[in-house]
Amino acid sequence: MSAVPSLRHLLLLRPRLRFFALSTSSSPFLSYAPSHHFSPSSLRVLSSSSSPTLTQEEADEVVGKGSSLIDVNPPRGTRDFPPDDMRLRNWLFQNFREVSRILSFEEVDFPVLESEALFIRKAGEEITQQLYNFEDKGGRRVVLRPEITPSLARLVIKQGKSVSLPLKWFTIGQCWRYERMTRGRRREHYQWNMDIFGVSKVRGEAELIQAIVLLFERLGINSSDVGIRVSSRKVLQAVLQMYAIPENLFTQVCVIVDKLGKITREEIEKELLSLGVSIQAVNGIIEVLSLKSLSKLEEVLGSEEEAVSELKKLFSLAESYGYADWICFDASVVRGLAYYTGIVFEAFDREGKLRAICGGGRYDRLLSTFGSEDIPACGFGFGDAVIVELLKDKGLLPDLAHRVDDIVFPLDEVLDGTASRIASSLRKKGRSVDLVEDKRLKWVFKHAERIGASRLILVGNSEWERGAVRVKNLSTREEFEVKIDELV
């Protein structure tokens, strides 16, 4: 018996497995597949990371005693992309690309494997503790990148004076983080990034937020489903100045206070106190971070403060762009990455069920941490996992069934050459054609329905003698005899 169990074996031999196949859903892209029929893609639930793994006994039953089935699950926290999931992913990426094009960004790409040095930062960020890092065969320390921003910075430095500023780049790539998994958080995910280098004004952030809003709108999400919380790291900087906290503690303070709401206030206090921040300053910081109104912030920091004027400018630009109802000021947004220096933002679902949908901000001093001259920069990362969860919850997943234009089916084996010629000629004209052989006509009709074919082209002996084929229009059910050279 073959080592790979056939679908039929699984269905015939294991009724219990069949139940799992039809009812279990675990991948963020999963459950999109209609469950009323058992398509090959439904089989993937058997191999998804959280579905039950086959026991040895079950495996023996499927493949025959003596041989052992390898673990068909991808590594924990990672995903396979069977056709239904791949269609959904492509659809999402097309939307990412289209929005980037509309905003006049150019696409770039980087290796998933990067040198570890690019990601070594000392601020105690979670991301640096989640690295997939190892030594390659040449003894070099490398990582599977957890994010794309450092690679982007590396390329900007490498390109040097040859790039003309402002530079607007986008990329879509896989990132790896050894995460504790929750809904929408995985060990690998794809991130759409849009970044601008060379714009120091909040125009940069305003453009990025428009891109995010346009994306949501394209996906059918509106401002009552999702909001974008905005603040600025300069708020915290101003508070630290008020309490005369040394500048060199700024990044560490940011990373610690980003955990507000994730760990207890006592733990935050403990961490800040251990940095040497006074209890009065800790209370002051936490108080300011609870502000949700820009006018209150202005009262506390004064209208001269850069944080206040920049945020006010951003909110006034938001009115002009027409997305003011999407954004709100929330001083608690700090973001967990060390390099942010100014405005920071995160999109969230208003029902509060999911983790951040996307996030970004200004990072004007990242390049100097790599020994280069700084260039003002801002950007965001938008993952592929949380958004799919949200679309699922809102019933907004698109109908993306596999579609072909024509099925070409020779009714006699001797006509396989003719069928190949017909399929080839239609394909050269740009039609998608499935050439089917060795099946019963009944199966071919069912198959045509399943893949939504618009025409069935039957190549039969008697028609072929007249240089023709039978063409069945599957939507009107009409059937014609069509001369080969008239077939388009």
Residue 148 marked as a ligand binder: yes
Cα–Cα distance measured from residue 302 to residue 284, given in angstroms and rounded to the nearest whole number = 16
Query: Residue 45 or residue 172: which is nearer to ligand HAM going by CB?
Result: 172
The reply to whether 380 sits near ligand HAM by the rule CB under 6 A is yes
- State how beta strands 327-329 and 377-383 pair: unpaired
Binding flags for ligand HAM, 318-337, as an x/- string (CB under 6 A): -------------------x
Any idea what the Cα angle at residue 175 is, between residues 379 and 334, rounded to 5°? Answer: 45
Which ranges in 36-82 belong to alpha helices (H)? 44-47, 56-63
Site for ligand HAM in 53-72 (CB under 6 A): none
Residue 164 makes CB contacts below 8 A (sequence gap 6+) with none
Is 379 near ligand HAM (CB under 6 A)?
yes
195 is in an annotated binding site: yes
Contact 365, 200 (CB under 8 A): no
Q: Is 147 annotated as a binding residue?
A: yes
H or E element, residue 433: strand 433-435
Q: Name the minimum Å distance from CB 169 to ligand HAM.
A: 10
Please state the closest distance from residue 384 (CB atom) to ligand HAM, in A.
7
Contact 436, 409 (CB under 8 A): yes
Using the rule CB under 6 A, give the single segment among 3-11, 181-189, 288-296, 413-421 that binds ligand HAM: 181-189
C-beta of 331 vs 456, nearer to ligand HAM? 331
Tell me which residue has tokens 């099946």: 439
Nearest alpha carbon to residue 400 among 189, 26, 90:
90
340 annotated ligand binder: yes
Stretch that binds ligand HAM, among 2-10, 320-328, 376-384, 465-473 (CB under 6 A): 376-384
Number of H helices, E strands in the chain: 19, 16
Q: Which two tokens stand for residue 224?
A: 């009552």
Nearer to ligand HAM, 215 or 282 (CB): 215
Helix intervals (H) in 322-364: none
Contact between 386 and ligand HAM by CB under 6 A: the answer reads yes
Residue with tokens 């290796």: 111
CA atoms within 13 A on the CB side of 428: 7
Among 133, 191, 210, 341, binds ligand HAM (CB under 6 A): 191
Contact predicate 349/224, CB 8 Å: no
> Applying CB under 6 A, which part among 52-60, 101-109, 179-187, 426-434 lies near ligand HAM?
179-187
Instruction: Report the nearest approach of ligand HAM to the CB of residue 323 (Å).
Output: 18
CB of 376 to ligand HAM, least distance (A): 12
CA dihedral sign of residues 257, 260, 265, 271: negative
Site mask, ligand HAM, residues 341-370, x = CB under 6 A? Answer: ---------------xxxxx----------
Q: Tell me whether residue 339 is annotated as binding.
A: yes
> Which CB, 317 or 358, lies closer to ligand HAM?
358
3-state secondary structure of 141: strand
Please state whether 131 falls in left (phi above 0), alpha (psi between -120 and 50) or beta: beta
Beta-bridged to residue 14, according to DSSP, are: none
- Residue 374 marked as a ligand binder: no
Q: Are 433 and 405 in contact, with CB atoms under 8 Å apart?
A: yes
Question: According to the binding rule CB under 6 A, does residue 202 interact with ligand HAM?
Answer: no
- By C-alpha distance, which of 111, 197, 104 is closest to 159? 197
Looking at the Cβ atoms of 356 and 408, the one nearer to ligand HAM is: 356
Give the one residue of 14, 79, 168, 186 binding ligand HAM; rule: CB under 6 A.
186
Residues 114-173 that bind ligand HAM (CB under 6 A): 147, 149
**Can residue 411 be called a binding residue for ligand HAM (CB under 6 A)?**
no
* Binds ligand HAM (CB under 6 A): choice among 168, 177, 233, 455: 177
Q: Which is nearer to ligand HAM, 250 or 380 (CB)?
A: 380
Question: How far is C-alpha 386 from the chain's CA centre?
Answer: 8
Could you tell me if 127 and 175 are in contact, meaning their C-beta atoms sit under 8 angstroms apart?
A: no
Which residues are documented as binding site? 147-149, 177, 191, 195, 335, 339-340
Which residues are documented as binding site for L-histidine? 147-149, 177, 191, 195, 335, 339-340
Interface residues with ligand HAM (CB under 6 A) are 147, 149, 177, 179, 184-186, 189, 191, 193, 195, 337, 356-360, 379-383, 385-386
